[in-house]
Chains A and B, each alone.
Chain A
């Protein structure tokens, strides 16, 4: 059973460009969470999605950031008009249900560098 997959692993963008980060959950998992991790800091929740639905986006900036999890294909975190402050590691995690206390499995992360 393949784990959570993320690509690309590293992404370099210039200010003003768009960044697209992809996450394929573990087989059988229908819940995806995106987190951002800045250097020397913990994981900050951004958004929680189920197939075709955004359940909780309370941690995601209102401007320039969007996320989707289509019926087919990976979940996408999209950052428009990137700025240097967007440079971070972005992790996704998946879980099989949204019952309380369900363990999340993390992907390897995408390290975004904005020049």
Chain B
């Protein structure tokens, strides 16, 4: 099955700095890679996703890059703000029985200090 590794587990930055979270996956058949943000006590919410036919995607202060050869993808947040503080999960979609079940990383706790 798919295995997704996510690093770091905790990331502490100063407001205005950039933050980078990295994930690797094992199943070369995976072709959809969403990122979710989960604030304390709340539901995971999709913030950006990328498909394997694209190498990079950007949405305002967040961007995701994908390297299919190396099987890794990264989330980049620029000009971080305190409200960016949350747990971020990467995922890789894995074909199982004809449907595509995402496998999640263990999460990165991002802390942005004002």
* CB-contact partner of B101 in A33, A91, A107, A109, under 8 A: A33
Residue of B whose beta carbon sits closest to that of A98: B99
Determine whether the beta carbon of B44 is less than 8 Å from that of A101: no
**Does B98 sit within 8 A of A, measured CB to CB?**
yes
Determine whether the beta carbon of B34 is less than 8 Å from that of A56: no
Q: Given A58-B96, A100-B31, A106-B45, are A43 and B104 neighbors across the interface (CB < 8 Å)?
A: yes
**Does B61 sit within 8 A of A, measured CB to CB?**
no
A-B contact count (CB 8 A): 64
Task: Provide the bound-state CA to CA distance between A109 and B6, in Å.
Answer: 23
Determine whether the beta carbon of B97 is less than 8 Å from that of A101: no
A109: chain B residues at CB < 8 Å are: 43
Contact with A along B78-113 (1 / 0, CB 8 A): 000000000001000101111111111111000000
B97 to chain A, nearest CB (A): 5
Residue of A whose beta carbon sits closest to that of B46: A103
A56: chain B residues at CB < 8 Å are: 96-97, 99, 101
**Does B51 sit within 8 A of A, measured CB to CB?**
yes
Determine whether the beta carbon of B101 is less than 8 Å from that of A45: yes
B90 to chain A, nearest CB (A): 9
* CB-contact partner of A100 in B32, B45, B106, under 8 A: B32
A102: chain B residues at CB < 8 Å are: 100
Task: Provide the bound-state CA to CA distance between A111 and B45, in Å.
Answer: 17
Determine whether the beta carbon of B98 is less than 8 Å from that of A101: no
Determine whether the beta carbon of B95 is less than 8 Å from that of A100: yes
Task: Provide the bound-state CA to CA distance between A98 and B99, in Å.
Answer: 6
B36 to chain A, nearest CB (A): 8
Task: Provide the bound-state CA to CA distance between A106 and B97, in Å.
Answer: 22
Interface residues of B (CB under 8 A from A): 6, 31-32, 34, 36, 42-46, 49, 51, 89, 93, 95-107
What are 20 A-B interface contacts by the 8 Å CB criterion? A33-B101, A42-B6, A42-B89, A42-B104, A42-B105, A43-B104, A45-B103, A55-B97, A56-B96, A56-B101, A58-B96, A58-B97, A98-B100, A100-B32, A101-B31, A102-B100, A103-B49, A104-B46, A107-B43, A108-B43
